[in-house]
Amino acid sequence: MEYIELLLKYIGNIVDYYITFFEPGKVIKKTLEEKSFPFYSRNIEKKEIFINNVYNLHKQIYLMIKKENKYSKISLAKNIAYEEIEYRKNNILKYIDFLSISYDGDNNFNKGKPIQKDDIGKNIDPDEILRNLLKLKVYDKPILILSTGIADENDIYRSTF
């Protein structure tokens, strides 16, 4: 929290929008599945601990930022391919001023229709973004799409995505 305090001291009245965590669900999932990932652990019980830590830290940071600048808008960025972060859990919506999402393809191979793959084998499915935007609409908060991207070294898929 010292870092947040220092950051706010210098930019608290300059910055209007903050993302406290970028794609925490992706980090949590990879932590539990990929041995090469930092903090790797097969302990599924740690997943809930990680998630609760993200929620609690986000809430604390939210309150710190609002204390410095009550007009700031704050969110955490959710990659729509990962379900680990749920907006209804732990009363987190109370501490989110806008919804922010990102999408860089996914590895869900049970789509029921042929899906183009990018250079690293992830699905290129722009319909996935639309489906998630429609789901998010029920929260009645502004939505910011932070990033959409695909691995496309020769720039042959980007135009359709």
Domain boundary assignment for the chain: 2-148
CA separation for the pair 21, 96 (Å, rounded): 12
Q: How many CB atoms lie within 10 A of CB 150?
A: 21
85 has a pLDDT exceeding 90: no
Its pTM stands at: 0.77
Beta-carbon contacts of 108 under 8 Å, excluding residues fewer than 6 positions away, are 81, 123
- The DSSP symbol for 93 reads G
Are 65 and 96 within 8 A, CB to CB?
no
pLDDT greater at residue 146 or residue 121: 146
Average pLDDT estimate for 81-97: 78
